[in-house]
Amino acid sequence: MIDLSVTRDWSIFNAQAYLQEYYADIGAENLAILDFLVRTLRDVSPESVLLDFGGGPTLYSLIASANHAREIHFCDYLDSNLEQVQMWLEGHPQAFDWTAFIETTLILEEADCSKSSIVLRENEIRQRVTRILHGDANLSRPIQTDVSGYDVLVSNFCAESATEDIEQWRKFVRNITSLIKPGGKLIMSTLKGATSYGVGNDVFPAVNIMEADLNDLLINLGFDRTTIEIDSVPADRPSRHYQGLIFVTAIKAA
Ligand SMILES: C[S@@+](CC[C@H](N)C(=O)[O-])C[C@H]1O[C@@H](n2cnc3c(N)ncnc32)[C@H](O)[C@@H]1O
């Protein structure tokens, strides 16, 4: 059922309210996301060129990625989100504080998580992120890039959190994954069984998908079916308008 109060006006997406709502603490959902990223990036070559598609105002996926990429490109649809990321990269005093996420990622990596190691990882992220781009999943060429295909593409809560229409969701995922080179890796998190999601007093659309929808779509889009791995966790608070989170990795057929 579609919530009638859902907005399609992205200009009212409040980056700070979003960060407060979903990233103010490391609950079970965020711990599961960080653990997924650490596990799936572990075998990625440090020579990879990685794209975070639809990263929003968030940096958490760059923390583990910085250890496994020569270069990271970051994109989002909204300039206001890109500004938040840019503020953090520039060390702006009002930028969102990702320290707890960095510390937790280092613990999950079984690495040293002292203050100096946290600062070291912050510096690594700042060095690895070489491009901040505008992206639109509705376009067959979603970003302007000279990279012919990314080695690794990370996309968290983007395609299914940008529409309530399942056909449009399929189109978004097709366009996003077209940026991956043959043999390249997709690392994606999605909402599961969602109707919408709240940001402050506003409600944004989400498509209601389950694991089988993702599996079928990725096979359709040319991912090697033997490489598709899907996992899920339940939502960590009853106020959420979704049942849980789905985590998927897959390799695009060569
Ligand atoms: C729920 S947020 C996810 C942000 C972040 N990846 C995270 O994990 O928290 C959904 C994101 O989708 C982006 N978005 C909305 N429409 C889009 C489109 N047509 N193409 C690409 N991204 C879009 C929004 O700007 C927003 O940052």
Q: Tell me the per-residue pLDDT of 187-245, one tens digit each, with 9 for 90 and over.
A: 999 999 999 999 999 999 999 999 999 999 999 999 999 999 999 999 998 888 999 99
Distance in Å, CA 81 to ligand 1 centroid? 9
Distance in Å, CA 254 to ligand 1 centroid? 28
Answer yes or no: are the C-beta atoms of 192 and 211 closer than 8 Å. Answer: yes
Q: What is the pLDDT of residue 5?
A: 85
Alpha-carbon distance of 239 to 68, in angstroms, equals 35
Query: Domains in the chain and their CATH numbers?
Result: 10-40+47-251 (3.40.50.150)
Instruction: Show the 3-state SS of 235-247.
Output: CCCCCCCCCEEEE
Model confidence at 2, in pLDDT bands (50, 70, 90)?
very low
Of all atoms in ligand 1, which is nearest to the CA of residue 136?
Answer: 20
Q: What is the pLDDT of residue 239?
A: 83
**pLDDT averaged over the chain?**
96
Model confidence at 132, in pLDDT bands (50, 70, 90)?
very high
- The reported pTM is 0.97
Q: What is the pLDDT of residue 46?
A: 95
Nearest Cα to Cα of residue 169 among 187, 157, 184:
157
Nearest Cα to Cα of residue 102 among 57, 128, 66, 131:
66
Closest residue by CA, ligand 1 atom 27: 56
Q: Tell me the per-residue pLDDT of 106-130, one tens digit each, with 9 for 90 and over.
A: 999 999 999 999 999 999 999 999 9
- Among 158, 242, 245, 246, which residue has the most ligand 1 atoms within 8 Å of its CB, making it the best to mutate? 158
pLDDT exceeds cutoff 50 at 148: yes
Q: Residues with beta carbon inside 6 Å of ligand 1?
A: 10, 22, 54-56, 58, 76-78, 81, 135-138, 156-158, 161-162
Nearest Cα to Cα of residue 149 among 179, 176, 185, 127:
179
Q: What is the pLDDT of residue 4?
A: 52
Average pLDDT over residues 171-194: 98
